[in-house]
Every structure is written in structure tokens, then in C-alpha cells.
Amino acid sequence: MDAFGLDGLDELVRALIADGRRVIGPRLRDNAIVLDDITGVADLPAGWGVDVAPGRYRVRRRDDEALFCHSAGPQSWKQFVHPARRKLWETTETGFEEPPPDNRELAFLGVRGCDLAALGVLGRVVGNRIRPFIVAVDCTEPGGLCFCASTGTGPGVRQGYDLALTERIDDTGHWFLAEAGTGAGERMLRMVTRRQARFDEVAAALRDVTAAADRMGRAMPELDLRELLRDSRQARRWNDVAERCLTCGNCTMVCPTCFCTTTEDVTDLTGEHAERWEHWASCFEVDFSYLHGGSVRTSAASRYRQWLTHKLGTWHDQFGESGCVGCGRCIAWCPVGIDITAEVAALAAERSGDDVDV
């Protein structure tokens, strides 16, 4: 395992750009940490963290200059591999024409374990239209809404990365442990001024990541979620959710694994040119379940039940794993603060006959 400082990280970014890649990473903008183009370490949110709670997200200054000690923001990497809107075809004088294939060379810098797992899920669902170079980052400071430890997706990164970093700030300075996960990662690592990490440095980083698992702000209940959702179809809890849920669809838009889309056809004023576009859709929309003259799920309770049952239950049947990676975005960006972990706990309590006040 190798180690390098801030200058080494800057070299890595420049090497990725020289390799012809557009580098995307976290940046501070509009009072949020968002994902955008970066050209060097100076663009990263040094010294910024976030405070999150149900229905709340605020950036704050930290006591140090850490670059990656902030929990999930309003965006996920989904937007780059599964665009919110894309053209499928357009008419021409000779017929129909598809847009050229997307050959963008991207590099993602700062991918957490939860989002790395989400990229893997999306790859199986929508296909690997783009294969970005992934620089993942171990999480050593989870946020108040994180629960990746209970979903098995963090805080340490798993498979699927080209390079994995662990950020450290101690009495020796500000530096990173680095481990290559692919041949491409090894090639880029050779472009960086680095040294071999000492055993005690590796051990300290491992302790930080392990300790982060015990500081999660939330936890998904440890039970068979498929079975719970199957048994809870008629649960009273759905009506309680319906009284609070605005069916705005925020949870599906910020979720890094929600992939549903719809299509629309548009024409110019003359009617001589037409285009078909695909864009994100949400199962919270009334028209999402429109079928043979009417919507199947007209109530808020039925739409929330559909979302949660698919996310935690039938997703296993389709893709062999849960659709939730424990990032906590749906809790932070819900206007009324509905908490997916609390709702699952309430359903479990109702099934067992216990009283619950969540």
C-alpha cells in the first residue's frame, strides 16, 4: 500500500486530465457540497463538513482542512451514468436517427462505499453505458443519517474501484493511503509522487474506518426485509406515512439507485421535426402507474408502499441485493423528514404486535 500528500493528490487529478478524462469530484457551491468538474485539489471542499437531520442539510466549517469528511449531498453519481434526461432519437429527412454513442471519458474522485455499491447496482440495471475511472474514498466520519454499516456497503469501500484512498490528518501532516484495484489504477498511481506506507499508518487508517462503523447516525433493523415487506402489505403504518408524505418524489430523485424513467415525444411548431426523450420518473407520480385508462396506485399510502417494498423487498428478487445502500439522502431531502429506517422499524414492531412511537 502506498501513501502520498496533498501534492500527490493534485498530481493524480492532473494525470487523469492528461489521460483525456473529465474529472468529477465534490465542490462547495450554493451552500451545498455538489459534484462538479475539478482541475485540482484547490477545487475540493477543504475544511467543509455537513450537518444533516431528517429534512435538513447544512454545510459547516470544520476544525481541520479535510477534503472528504462530509456525508452525502443532494446529488449522486447516478446523474453521470444514468442522465436525468437524454435523447433517444430524432427524425431527419431520411427517417430516424439515434444520437451518437456516449464516449465520454470520466473519472470520479471521492466515491464513498455507499455510492460505489450504488454504481454497481445501476450498472446491472441500466447497463454500463459509461465506465468511469473510480477513485473511491473510505469514510472515516459518517454523517447523522448514514447507515451503510447496516446495509453492508461501508464505511470502507469494497470492490469496483480503480483506486481507493483513506484520508488522514495527524501530527505528521495531511496525507492519503492509496491502494490500486485495477491495472488502470496501478498505471495512474505510478504517475504520483508516493512512498510505501508504514505498517502503523495502515493500522491507524484501518482503525479509523472500523471506528466509523460504530458512529453511524442510523441503522437498518437486522431482519429479513423481504419477508417483512411481504407480511406488511396491509399494515396500518402505511396510512400513517400517507398523512405525512407529500408524494413529491424527492426521495426517488436523490436516491443513488432509483432508475425509473418515462419517455416523451416533442415536435417543433411546424410538425416537421420530432424527438423522443427519456427522463427520470418517480413511482410517487400518480401517472406512473397509469394502465388501461387509469392509475393503479392513486393513494399516497399505496405509492409509498410500492417504493419501499420494491427498494427493500422485491429488488432482491430482481437484482440479488437490496436497492438501499444506506446513504441517508432520502431522509435528508424529504421535506417532512420521513426516515426509511424508522419506517422499517415501525413495520417490524406492528408485525410483532409491539407498540411503537417513531
Q: What is the pLDDT of residues 262-302, one digit of tens each?
A: 999 999 888 789 999 999 999 999 999 888 888 889 999 99
Q: How many CA atoms lie within 13 A of 291 on its CB side?
A: 5
**Phi/psi zone of residue 222: left (φ > 0), alpha (ψ -120 to 50 degrees), beta?**
beta
Distances, alpha carbon 280 to alpha carbons 78, 85, 246, 262, in Å: 11, 7, 19, 6
Virtual CA dihedral for 332, 333, 335, 341, nearest 10 degrees? -50
Cell numbers linked to 303 = 405509492
> What's this model's pTM, rounded to 2 decimal places?
0.93
Q: Check residue 129 and give left, alpha or beta (phi > 0: left; psi -120 to 50: alpha).
A: alpha
Distance between CA atoms of residues 326 and 349, nearest Å = 21
Domain range annotation of the chain = 2-213, 225-352
pLDDT score at 231: 95
Instruction: State residue 270's pLDDT score.
Output: 84
Cβ neighbours of 37 (radius 10 Å)? 11
Asked if residues 153 and 325 have their Cβ atoms less than 8 Å apart, the reply is yes
Q: Which of 192, 66, 81 is nearest to 134 (CA)?
A: 81
- Interatomic CA distance for residues 238 and 109, integer angstroms: 39
Number of residues in the chain: 358
Reported as a single tens digit per residue, the pLDDT across 22-41 is 999 999 999 999 999 999 99
User: 321: phi > 0 → left, psi -120 to 50 → alpha, else beta; which?
Assistant: beta
Taking each helix axis as running N to C, give the angle between helix 300-309 and helix 237-244, from 0 to 180 degrees, rounded to the nearest 10. Answer: 110
Spans in the chain with pLDDT lower than 50: 358
Residue 357's pLDDT is what? 52
Distance CA 89, CA 92 (A): 10
